[in-house]
Amino acid sequence: MAQNWDDLRVFLAVARGQSLSAAGKRLRIDPATVGRRVARLEQRMGTPLFAKSPLGYELSASGARLLPLAEHAEQAMGAAGELLGTSNTHGNELNGSIRIGAPDGCANFLLPQVCARIVQDHPDLDVQIVALPRVVNLSKREADMAITVSAPTAGRLTVQKLSDYKLHLAAVPQYLQRASALQSKEDLRHHRMIGYVPDMIFDKELDYLGALGVERVPLASNSVSVQFNAIRQGAGLGIVHDFALPSAPELKRVLTDEISLTRSFYLVRHSSDRRLQRLNRFAQALVAGVRSEITRLEAQP
């Protein structure tokens, strides 16, 4: 039974990583061993589970049918591990490894302190924060859960609203002193704007400058942190999360009466993971921590 599950675990890693090397990194075994394990499973089942293509290892028709069954087995093994491990834990202490994906603004300015408090309360817990300028692919198990700026409407996912947050236009005084007058939104066309690379905006909720009618972005990046630091260097004006402003007191909000944006964070998880109490407890602590941190940071002058 254990050997059968071990082979299914390898199958899932290849299906999600679409290569032997990616699966090997995730499982911490060499790619050649991954290939042999897949071949053994295919021989046992009497059918090929993958087809090699220019994109990597793609599921065959048989592999696609096996995938949901393997995922159910994964969830069952996780639940069994939690049940059998209860005698080795103390109270509600969390352990093991949990990976959370998030857009880099949230990952840089909120999650470090929130997760630091969680791991301080749970010394045997390892938290991995994956900061990506794109949507985290939960179906490929890039993370155990993800924070997003839009609520997904497709897939076998559960979605929980985390919190609203605010954003404003900001710059350093040195830039404002040497730049053109800034008295209304119409004056933005005379200023150097900092924002996202237009064709790399991965969610419509992030098109802040487009919503303001800004057509040209002279200094752009797909990273919120790069934009933030460019604004700090006096390179121009940009939209900044209010929760990031306390980390850069030199930044000043401008045109606050005209320009004030509100967005939301959502916590997204696999639907089947609702049965895993370990992930449920972590999600509960994460939600409470993020809400509290946004409230604390946005209240600072």
Q: Residue 2: pLDDT above 50?
A: no
Query: 3-class DSSP state for residue 270?
Result: strand
Q: Residue 287: pLDDT above 50?
A: yes
Residue 270: predicted pLDDT: 85
What does the block give as tokens for 279?
């992930």
Q: In Å, what is the CA distance from 191 to each residue of 215, 260, 272, 288?
A: 12, 18, 49, 39
Tell me what the mean pLDDT of segment 147-168 comes to: 92
Residue 92: predicted pLDDT: 62
Tell me what the mean pLDDT of segment 60-85 comes to: 74
Q: What is the pLDDT of residues 238-285, one digit of tens each?
A: 999 999 999 999 999 999 999 999 999 999 998 877 767 888 899 999
C-alpha to C-alpha distance for 96 and 277, rounded to whole angstroms: 13
Residue 104: predicted pLDDT: 92
Q: Residue 86: pLDDT above 80?
A: no
Average pLDDT score over the chain: 88
C-alpha to C-alpha distance for 274 and 264, rounded to whole angstroms: 22
Model confidence, pTM: 0.73
Q: Residue 127: pLDDT above 80?
A: yes
Which domains, ranges and CATH numbers included, belong to the chain?
A: 2-87 (1.10.10.10), 91-163+264-298 (3.40.190.10), 164-262 (3.40.190.10)
Residue 85: predicted pLDDT: 54
Q: Which residues sit opposite 252 in a β-bridge?
A: 171
Least confident residue range of 16-30, 81-95, 171-185, 206-220? 81-95
> What does the DSSP assignment read for 9-25?
HHHHHHHHHSSHHHHHH
Q: Residue 224: pLDDT above 90?
A: yes
Residue 264: predicted pLDDT: 97
For the four alpha carbons of 30, 32, 38 and 44, in that order, the dihedral sign comes to negative
Q: Which residue has the higher pLDDT, 133 or 269?
A: 269
